[in-house]
Structure formats: structure tokens, C-alpha cells
């Protein structure tokens, strides 16, 4: 996967808070780290974070997203533009 593609900082969410990508709640699945990361500015405070790229699989379809825990039980989630 090309980690230099355009990622969109799309949400700041609490751990376990319902959040859907392509109609799938990401918290309903085990996240598998792909081994890839990218650096991005957290949208609220502007701090740089290393964002891990994760993948979940639903009915044979892979969904990839970037995520990082930026505070205790608070996550930023990135998707591809």
C-alpha cells in the first residue's frame, strides 16, 4: 500500500464510540495493523502523530484506515480521500 496517498483526518472519536467506514462500524471488528504508518497533524491541536494503518475485513471486503490514540481512549481516524 502506498502510505503517501491522500489521507483525510475525518474524525476524533472516543474508544468504542460508533464510527462507520463504508457502512461498517470499525469497533465491531478486530483491527489488523498492516505494518505501514504515516505522519499527520492531529486536526484539533495540530500536533504530529504517527498514524498506524489498520485493516478490517467484512464479507471478504478489506477496509483500510489510519488511526492513532491521541489521548486516553480518544482516537483520530483517517480515511483515503
Model pTM score:
0.87
Q: Where are the domains of the chain?
A: 7-80
Identify the pLDDT of residue 21. Answer: 93
First to last CA, the chain: 15
Nearest in space to 64 (alpha carbons), one of 72, 74, 73, 54: 54
Q: What sign has the CA pseudo-torsion 51, 53, 57, 58?
A: positive
**pLDDT tens, residue order, the chain (81 aa):** 556 678 887 799 999 999 999 999 999 999 999 999 999 887 778 788 999 999 999 888 999 999 999 889 999 999 986
Amino acid at each position: 500500500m502506498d502510505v503517501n496517498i491522500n489521507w483525510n483526518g475525518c474524525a476524533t472519536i472516543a474508544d468504542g464510540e460508533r464510527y462507520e467506514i463504508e457502512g461498517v462500524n470499525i469497533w465491531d471488528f478486530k483491527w489488523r495493523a498492516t505494518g505501514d504508518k504515516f505522519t499527520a497533524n492531529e486536526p484539533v491541536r495540530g500536533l504530529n502523530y504517527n498514524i498506524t494503518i489498520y485493516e478490517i475485513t467484512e464479507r471478504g471486503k478489506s477496509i483500510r484506515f489510519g488511526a492513532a490514540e491521541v489521548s486516553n481512549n480518544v482516537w483520530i481516524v483517517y480515511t483515503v480521500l
